[in-house]
Amino acid sequence: MSTSTKRPQRLIQGNEACAHGALYAGCNFYAGYPITPSSEVMEILSTEMPARGRTFIQMEDEIASISAIIGGAWGGGKALTATSGPGFSLMQEGIGYAAITETPCVIVNCQRWGPSTGQPTKGAQGDVMQAIWGTHGDHPVIVLTASNVRDAFEMTVKAFNFAEEHRVPVILLLDEVLAHMRENIDWPEPGEIPVVDRARPASAKGFKPFENNTFLPFGAGARFHVTGLAHNADGFTVGDEAAARELRRMVGKVQSKVRELAMFDRLRLDDATLGIISYGITSRPAAAAVEILRSEGIRAGLLDLKTLWPFPDHLVREVADRVDRIVVPELNMGQMVREITRSVGGRCEVQPCTRIDGHLLTPAQIVEAAKATLAADGSPGQRPIGCGTCCSERTVHS
């Protein structure tokens, strides 16, 4: 199976891949607070960061952690924190501050089951909407996810790249299963994955901190003001139409880049009549389900979304225009299915397929959900299943 020219591989865990992806991306500032199932990211960086001359600090809670990485970014660092649900909830305040101050930083959320303490050692995909909308007020944010260990490495690098290029907080959603799952991955060589650093202004003189995506840290020759209040390009308080204009600019700078930010994989969609749209860990059983359905004569295909926000409408509509039905498997009570339903806009039927007992959806369950949407002759059926929880006999949650 292997040859002498085979590139270096390592058997590592999702959280290890995330930590090493951060090191690869040049992350030089980490502040965090331990929480299951994300703690390995922090444990690894606690030794690897100082060994590379970089900064690591364990803070007193998650609010302090997000605050410290934002301060670290304005001190000149490429900054990261990693957490899980309860900690992610606490970080919402700081995520809003990072958004309005256009601070490049990365927040990794290893999702676990349920609200509150829930089940710390069970995987879920329940934080998708919180990642997008968790902090108060309209705001810009980019949300990425990963479906395998190599992805966890690469998406961490991409998260930094997007944060740096667009000056925006980037949230990377992992989950407990991926975080602790081990896979053999091709170890990226230096330079194999591009690494982007924030753009500097041509001159510190006359630098306006919120004019565009160029960035200067404190102490680099310009003196300026940073505030969470509505502000102009100089960083000073504004209101009324000026505040509206600034907010539109901030949100618009992410939304207008939806096509270039959209990362995804496609599997056998060319001739598909049944589409599965999934993301994160669920894309693994979904890919297996495609093969099972194909072996039974049902032309299934998969769109695996790696960028969840800004929402890639164009990718979803492309699938919707081609298939009769879309199945959306996810480990929650139906979150992305709503966004997909909106995006599809009636072009075809959309079926949720959910599981919330802390275990992964199996390929067989996704196959079953897909088949239940079809009549015996393989045409769109009259017997749609719901998510089995809140909407068992309906196609979409109400």
Q: Does 68 contact other proteins by CB under 8 A?
A: yes
User: DSSP characters for 73-131?
Assistant: HHTT--EEEEEEHHHHHHTHHHHHHHHHTT--EEEEEEEEESSTT-EEEEE--TTHHHH
Cα dist from 375 to 64, 291, 379, whole Å:
55, 20, 5
Q: Which of 97, 113, 162, 309 binds other proteins (CB under 8 A)?
A: 97
Q: Which of 2, 3, 47, 398 binds other proteins (CB under 8 A)?
A: 47
Strand partners, 56: 30
Q: How far is the CB of 108 from other proteins (least distance, A)?
A: 17
Q: Does 267 contact other proteins by CB under 8 A?
A: no
Q: Does 254 contact other proteins by CB under 8 A?
A: no
Of 2 and 47, nearer to other proteins (C-beta) is: 47
Nearest CA among 355, 394, 389 for reference residue 372: 394
> Can you tell me the distance from the alpha carbon of 39 to that of 23, in angstroms, rounded to the nearest whole number?
16
Q: Which of 26, 34, 57, 389 binds other proteins (CB under 8 A)?
A: 57
The residues, ordered by sequence, that sit 6+ positions from 390 with a Cβ below 8 Å of its Cβ are 333, 334, 397
Q: Does 53 contact other proteins by CB under 8 A?
A: yes
Q: Does 136 contact other proteins by CB under 8 A?
A: no
Lookup result for tokens 């079926």: 351
Of 25 and 305, nearer to other proteins (C-beta) is: 25
Sign of CA dihedral 335, 336, 340, 342: positive
Which range binds other proteins by CB under 8 A, 45-53, 82-90, 110-118, 143-151?
Answer: 45-53
How many residues bind other proteins (CB under 8 A)? The answer is 46
Q: Does 311 contact other proteins by CB under 8 A?
A: no
Q: Does 94 contact other proteins by CB under 8 A?
A: yes
Q: What angle do CA 216, 27, 187 make, to 5 degrees?
A: 140
Query: Per the structure block, which two tokens stand in for 200?
Result: 């500097």
Q: Which of 50, 115, 252, 345 binds other proteins (CB under 8 A)?
A: 50
In the range 177-216, which residues lie near other proteins by CB under 8 A? 190
Query: What is the C-alpha R_g of the chain?
Result: 22
Q: By CB under 8 A, name the binding residues for other proteins.
A: 23-24, 29, 31, 47, 50-53, 55, 57, 59-61, 63-65, 67-77, 79, 93-94, 97, 190, 217-219, 221, 223-229, 236-237
